[in-house]
Every structure is written in C-alpha cells, then in structure tokens.
Structure 1
Amino acid sequence: MTAAFDSPLDTITLTGLRASGFHGVLEEERRNGQVFVIDVMVHLDLRAAADTDDLEQTVHYGALAEDVVAAVESDPVDLIETVAERVASVALAHASVKVVVVTIHKPSAPITVPFDDVAVTITRFADASPRTTIGFGKR
C-alpha cells in the first residue's frame, strides 16, 4: 500500500472548543440549547511554514477556532452528524488542509441512563474521497 498523499502530513489539533447551540431532535434541545464540545484535527504539510516562519503557510489556529465555534453556533439542525459536516467544511476551506477529523461531543444529550459523553467523529478529505493504492504482482 502506498501513501495517499505526495508528502507526509503534519497535524494541528484543537481540543475542547466549546460552543452553545440549539441542535437536537427534541423540542427542549431547540428551546434551551446546550454546550457542545468540539475537537478538530487538521492534517497538512507544515514544512513551508517552518522553513519561512510565515503564518500564511499554515492554518491560523485562532481563526480556525473562531470559525468552528461560529459554525456550531449557527443554524440549528437535528443531528450532531450535520454539525460535524459543517465543521469539516469550515476546516477544509483552508487550502492547505488535506484531511480533517472532527469530533462533536454532546455531553448533555438527553439520555435516560448515566453516561459521560456522546460524540460523533468524522474524517473528511480535501479531494472528497480517501485514496488508497494497492499493488499486486511484479513490476
């Protein structure tokens, strides 16, 4: 199997971002809202940024964090899966991001049994599909 990318990928991770939203299928979730916790991991090549010490060669994680929170706090939807897709789109809007992994935590989900967390995690690729090459036989 060969790598899916032309160069190795590096990672910028934002963990535990908090945003208030009104997402959910239940009326009280839409009425009262709740806090969502978001983890975002973007994969990109950081060599140019390291070589030039130029912010334009990377993703400004402060701006990304603000964009993610704004995406979560925007229009209410039923599913946190939809929120995760929205956040992934925000991250992939940065040209240097090749892959994004988004986890949306809903720690106050309306579940009738004791629990610590409910979360949805998605992985999305800039080119919309993961690429894997498998070779068989001789060259």
Structure 2
Amino acid sequence: MNSFGDRDRIILAGLAFYGYHGVMMEENNLGQRFRIDLELGLDMDAAALTDDVAQTISYADIYDLVKLAFEEKRFKLIEALGHHIIMRLFGTFEQLDWIRIRVRKPEAPLPIVVGEAAIEMVRTRAQVNG
C-alpha cells in the first residue's frame, strides 16, 4: 500500500512513445521507445455521483498533454522528463492533488538481455508549488 492509501486515482498504464531522450549520442540520433505509467490523484466523488465527464479529467486530454510534454523538449535524463511531465500536468489540471509517474526505457543502452531501466516519481501539488 502506498502513502496515498485508498484515495481516488486515474490510471493510464503503458503509454508508448518514440523519442530522442538520453545521454548517449545514439539515443539522440536514433531514438528509442519509451513507456509511461501514470497515476493521477483527484477527488472523483462529483463525477461518480453525476456521471458527468465535466466533473473529472478526460483520459484523452491527459494523453494529449503527456504526448505534448514528451515531444516538446529533449532531455538527457528520464528523471528530468518525468519532472517536466508532472509540471505540465499540475499546470493544466487544477483538480490534481498528486501524481505518480513511471518512465521506462525498454531499450536502454545496457548489456541486458531482458528488462528495462525506469524511474518512478511521486509528487504532490504542495511539493511542486513550494
């Protein structure tokens, strides 16, 4: 159980993107696949009671913003990429209380046969607003 317990969340898992993030020259020139998993914490009571999409955040709007944030700038570190996506999400969707993001590089330039490199970050709105 995480520190957010049983709080409401929107989950988008396995979002796939192709990008040019990385430290190695090959990563910047050739690019590679990335996978992003998100948990977005918000109060869903109004949406649950009204069955009104205006009372929540559209999955499509979340995906569109993540895609934009992923593509608008190149990063050396997936930590910086994850932070950038978090900041864009908090800046766009006022309903969000917390975000958990995992950025995975299934083709990281490592001598492994199976597996992937990944980071996971958890931020609350209070943390990013100082």
TM-score (ref. length: structure 1): 0.82
**CA-to-partner distance for each residue in 1:56-98, whole Å, 9 max, x for gaps?**
2111111101111221122111000011001111222311110
5+ residue gaps, structure 1, are 130-139
Identity, in percent, stands at 31
In structure 2, the partner of 1:57 is: 55
**CA-to-partner distance for each residue in 1:83-114, whole Å, 9 max, x for gaps?**
10011112223111101000000001000233
Amino acid at match of 1:107: P
Q: Determine which of 29, 38, 45 is the counterpart of 1:31.
A: 29
In structure 1, the partner of 2:69 is: 71
What is the RMSD computed on CA atoms of the aligned residues? 1.8
Deviation of 1:53 (Å): 1.9
In structure 1, the partner of 2:7 is: 9
Structure with the bigger percentage of helix? 2
Is 109-118 or 12-21 further displaced after alignment? 109-118
Deviation of 1:128 (Å): 1.3
In structure 2, the partner of 1:85 is: 83
Q: Distance in 1 between matches of 2:84 and 2:62?
A: 13
Are 1:116 and 2:81 counterparts? no
Q: Distance in 2 between matches of 1:75 and 1:100?
A: 21
TM-score (ref. length: structure 2): 0.88
State how many pairs are aligned: 124
Amino acid at match of 2:90: L
Q: Distance in 2 between matches of 1:89 and 1:118?
A: 22
Q: Which runs of 4+ in 1 moved over 3 A?
A: none
Amino acid at match of 1:20: Y
Amino acid at match of 1:98: D
